[in-house]
Amino acid sequence: MISADGRLDVLRQRPTVYHLAQPPAFEVDMDRLAAATVEVLKECVAVTEDASSIVAVAVTALGDGVWPLDRRHRPAAPALIWRDGRSNEVLRRWRREGRLAAVAELTGTYPTTAHQTTQMAWLKAHLPERVASVRHLFFAEDWIGFVLTGQVGVSIANFEHTYGHVRPPHHHFFRSAAQTLHILDLDWMQPLLPEPTSPLQPRGTLLPAVARHIGAKAGLPVFVGPFDVLAAALGAGAVLPTQASSIWGTAAIHQRWVTSFSPSEIGYLVSHPQQPGRWLRFVATSAGMVNLDYWRELLYPEIETGSQWTSLELALAQLPPGCDGLMYLPYLSAADERSEETPGVFGAGFLGVQAHHRRTHYLRAVYEGLAIQAARILRRLDPLDVPLQEVRVAGGGAQSDLLTQLLAHAAGLRAVRPHCTEASLLGVAGVAFTALGYATDLDALMQTFNPPQTLYTPDATVTSRYRTQAAAIDRLLRSLAEASPEQPESAANELA
């Protein structure tokens, strides 16, 4: 529950339960997710002093993936989420055939294994019975929006980086989509795409049955989108041209605003919800919190999160930059690393291991690996517009003083943790409040929603050291990509 001044009054949450989590396969049961969402809403309303004061429901969710509905408007199959990497074979074939660059001319984004198009092509080849029953293709936020309103639709941001933006010579979303699908030999998907809608327009109103169940007024407007990455940039208060934002979730997202449509650049491109001619260029990387979760469970199973973990981070901060020669590659993924110019499934690993290294060194190296990867991405984003001066942090990893300070050092930018790290929630609420007339300028509202709390400044000497390490990683990844054989397709196909 978020108030009109940006205060997060109530927060309730549930973990996402996977239907299948066997890398490279990741699927979610759509009905279980919907039920959990409705129950969380019910909990929020129950602890609100005055349920009649609720003016709207706003929905954001993870981007990409395949969320299919059949003709009865029921889930046609489990949803594939962005982490599903089984479509690697499709992506590599499209890359060899030159199709990715052609699509990027329309979308501003090179397709990845996370994209709906790539995953649908894989499903068509290996699970055709799933595809045969699909009537509508959603993204996660659209599925929840449908559960709440009964209205079919798709939010613009996910649609445009997948199927195409509205720009000359294509002046309608479906014209761009038709061209994109034709390039990829996916023309059969066109009838499955709902009409894109602006997040500044309500998707519909809260269904009476849902309203009764959660204890809210029927007829409340429901706003759907933008998806979590774009919402987080807004919610972190990173709205100025000189501000970047780093969102530390399972994956990590590093992003900035640009004023040119540049199809040849890395990452995704989505438009600003309110300002034409302004886009968010964001880069997704597997170098996210999944690395820390994995290694701290292996290295420190006896320590729970909380005060003990804070004490451990303080001890890690005392180790010297460079971690006594130990370096970590943070690509803990079974799919192509989306943030690299040279594609490849690099995997994660340590380099420079010596007999004197202890588990503190290993964990410190993981933190440094995440920060250096973020800095490498921000350095590539920097020349796309005016020079960056600041990076706002959000997501679970933003609560770490050590990670945020290392980010400042590695990037050579001041890092700012805002008051609230639940940036996606604040961002989507800000969009809804703007749509409702509480503000006329979305960016101006977001600058007041989430003020800075803690500032981290870089040390020039440490920055120089980490830049040297980043250059070594550049060379290493190029060598790994050249030496790495094509992944066998059989492993992914067996998971079908």
The domain that contains 217 carries what CATH number? 3.30.420.40
| Per-residue model confidence (pLDDT) at position 232 | 98
Q: How far apart are CA 435 and CA 430, in angstroms?
A: 9
Q: Are residues 231 and 220 in the same domain?
A: no
| Cα 124–Cα 127–Cα 132 angle in degrees, nearest 5 | 65
CB 319, CB 360: distance < 8 Å: yes
* 211 and 333 part of one domain: no
Per-residue confidence (pLDDT) for residue 493, from 0 to 100? 44
Other Cβ atoms within 10 Å of 286 Cβ, number: 26
Across 220-252, b (16+ Cβ under 10 Å) vs e yields: bbbbbbbbbbbbbbbbbbbbbeebbbbbbbbbb
Asked if residue 477 is part of any domain, the answer here is: yes
- Long-range (24+ apart) CB contacts under 8 A made by 171-176 are 176/106, 176/107
Q: Are residues 85 and 111 in the same domain?
A: yes
Domain, as residue range, for 427: 227-496
Same domain, 82 and 110: yes
Structural domain contains residue 154: yes
Spatial distance between the Cα atoms of 299 and 348, rounded to a whole number of angstroms: 15
Residue type (1 letter), 282: F
182 lies in some domain: yes
d(C-alpha 84, C-alpha 493), whole Å:
12
The residue from 208, 224, 240 where one domain ends is 224
* pLDDT score, position 487: 46
Neighbours of 54 (CB within 10 A): 17
Alpha helices, H only, 68-224: 88-96, 99-107, 116-126, 128-132, 140-149, 156-163, 173-183, 208-214
Do 220 and 232 lie in one domain? The reply is: no
Among 224, 258, 291, give the residue marking a domain's end: 224
Boundary of a domain, candidates 185, 205, 224: 224
pLDDT of residue 489: 43
Residue 399 near residue 309 (C-beta atoms within 8 A): no
**Residue 343: its pLDDT value, please?**
64
Instruction: With respect to residue 7, please indicate whether it lies within any of the assigned structural domains.
Output: no
Q: What are the residue ranges in the chain where pLDDT is below 50?
A: 487-496
**Shared-domain flag, residues 210 and 270:** no
State the pLDDT at residue 170: 60
- Evaluate whether residue 4 is within a structural domain: no
Same domain, 84 and 159: yes
pTM for this entry: 0.93
> Are 207 and 63 within one domain?
yes
Q: How many domains are contained in the chain?
A: 2
Whether residue 40 lies inside any domain: the answer is yes
Is 5 inside a domain boundary? no
Taking alpha carbons only, the member of 167, 31, 43, 59 closest to residue 105 is 167
CB distance 91 to 32 below 8 Å: no
* Residue 110 shares a structural domain with residue 249: no
| Whether residue 243 sits in one domain with residue 177 | no
- Is residue 473 domain-shared with residue 363, that is, in the same domain? yes
Residue 209 in any domain: the answer is yes
Are 248 and 360 members of one domain? yes
The whole-number pLDDT of residue 492 equals 45
